[in-house]
Amino acid sequence: MKFNITTLRPWLCAGLFIACATDVQAFCFKVTGVGTGTSSIPQKVANMGYTAAPWGNGVLNAAAGTISFGTISMGTGAEALAPAGTVIASADLPFLDKGMKEPYAANQIVFKCALSDAEELYEVYALPGGSGMFYGGKAVTDIEGAYQTPAMGIAYRITNQKTGLYYTGYWQERKLTSDDYFVVDSTLYIPASSFDSATFELLKTNDVYGTPTRNAFSQIVTPQAYEALRTSGINNTAKTGSLAYAPTPAMTSAVWSMRGGSTTIIHGNTCTLADFDQVVKLPPISVGNLRIGDKSSNTFNVAISCEKGAHSGTATNINDAPVAVGFLVTQPAALSQASTLGLQTSAGGISHLLDNNYGASGVASGVGIRLYAATGEALNLLSSTATTGSGAAAGWYGYADLMGQRGVTTEGNTEYGGTFTASLEQLPGLTAQAGSVNAQAQIIVSLQ
């Protein structure tokens, strides 16, 4: 009897110890509202200026933040046009605005955890390498951190803005610290603003894969990157260094994909900008002279180099894309003011280039810069490069319509050049007012 009692006591103590450990197990919950439930923040926290709302419920393209790059003119993909690693397009992906299809609020609480969980909180991020070659499953050989896409000659790369590390097809982690959350009554609260934003790049690669079609990115069937919280009970299979698959749908914080965006890729024999006058200075002119129709003008030169097989035009041709040139209005204030003043055509072209800060104190008003071809034709300016094949009304001109052939380069390319005139004039229906004028435009050469 004594023997039996002696051996049972340690077993009973061990059983009691295990039961006690279970009672104090930590917790983390997704937060979707204000109230008293496990998925809510208490009114006390809401009174501090925080909010809560339903968020993120998927890991498919339908849940993803939209990524668009407009029109990309790839040419033939020749190394001479763009070496491997050249950034073709880049987009900033702020977590709050682009993490999911529905944006987060900066003061929105997305998780709450027991304070005892503080050492187990990690932001994890990855390309879904387990989904296949176009989703982080196949790296390109000539660019660090870049992976194949469905588009021929184009790789993609995503950078975590807080760690500075490239996303890979394997999970990586960033440990959350007290800077990422706050504590109230032994519960820590994680706002959406604690999660990392990202940079999404498209880069030129010489690796051979993909299709040359204009809508290649429509072939994307799953998202291209994920970001999520990992704790002992949430997304705990997303171990650092393990092949990445989609996280738990309801617990995924960011989903990024080009599927729902607008990106057109044009391949073909093309031209590149060879030379141009970077600064055009216009002589001073009085307000009085501008008001009676006088102008202040100066000329500038532009030259391009065209591959064999390139041809001039503005009409879209899927099988044999022509090349056009245009002058793009790059400054937001100049673009918005031009629209406000009725200087924009129905196709989007801008008749006059306005000052970079038009409307600000000290800046001349009622005046703009008109560009003319050597023939005397007044040119419209581009408001965007996203739409091609829309002709002069949008600001596109076949290069041969504006420039003449000047010779052949040692590489066998044909050079074209033209002289243009920049003319400061009083705007139609307005009265010139004194001030400075400083305007910018970008020369664009693109397949149509």
| 385-389 mean pLDDT | 87
| 141-151 mean pLDDT | 97
The CA distance from 174 to 180, in Å, is 11
User: What would you measure as the largest C-alpha separation in the chain, in angstroms?
Assistant: 120
Tokens 């429509």 — which residue?
218
The CA distance from 106 to 119, in Å, is 24
**pLDDT above 80 for 105:** yes
What burial letters (b/e) apply to 141-156, b meaning 16+ CB within 10 Å? eebebbbbbbbbbbbb
Contact criterion met (CB below 8 Å) for 59 and 223: yes
The CA distance from 335 to 353, in Å, is 8
Predicted local confidence at residue 80, as pLDDT = 65
Give CA separation, 162 vs 70, 99, 146, 242, 246, in Å: 27, 15, 19, 21, 22
| 46-67 mean pLDDT | 93
**pLDDT above 50 for 8:** no
Predicted local confidence at residue 412, as pLDDT = 86
Comparing CA positions, the residue from 321, 317, 318, 216 lying closest to residue 271 is 321
H or E element: which one contains 21? helix 2-23
Reading the block at residue 180, the tokens are 């990422």
Each residue of 306-330: pLDDT tens digit?
Answer: 999 999 999 998 888 999 999 999 9
Contact criterion met (CB below 8 Å) for 252 and 58: yes
The CA distance from 282 to 294, in Å, is 13
Q: Among 66-75, 215-224, 424-433, name the most confident range.
A: 424-433
**pLDDT above 90 for 266:** yes
**pLDDT above 70 for 90:** yes
Predicted local confidence at residue 9, as pLDDT = 26
Predicted local confidence at residue 244, as pLDDT = 97
Predicted local confidence at residue 77, as pLDDT = 74
Confidence class of residue 27 from pLDDT cuts 50, 70 and 90?
A: confident
Find all residues with CB under 8 Å of 369, minimum gap 6, and list them.
282, 352, 353, 354, 422, 423, 424, 425, 437, 439
Higher-pLDDT residue of 412 and 295 is 295
Each residue of 200-214: pLDDT tens digit?
Answer: 999 999 999 999 999
What burial letters (b/e) apply to 20-51, b meaning 16+ CB within 10 Å? eeeeeeeebbbbbebeeeeebbbeebbeeebb
| 80-107 mean pLDDT | 93
| 378-392 mean pLDDT | 93
DSSP 196: P
**pLDDT above 50 for 302:** yes
Comparing CA positions, the residue from 136, 123, 137 lying closest to residue 200 is 136
**pLDDT above 50 for 99:** yes
| 3-10 mean pLDDT | 25
- Percent of the chain predicted with pLDDT > 90: 86
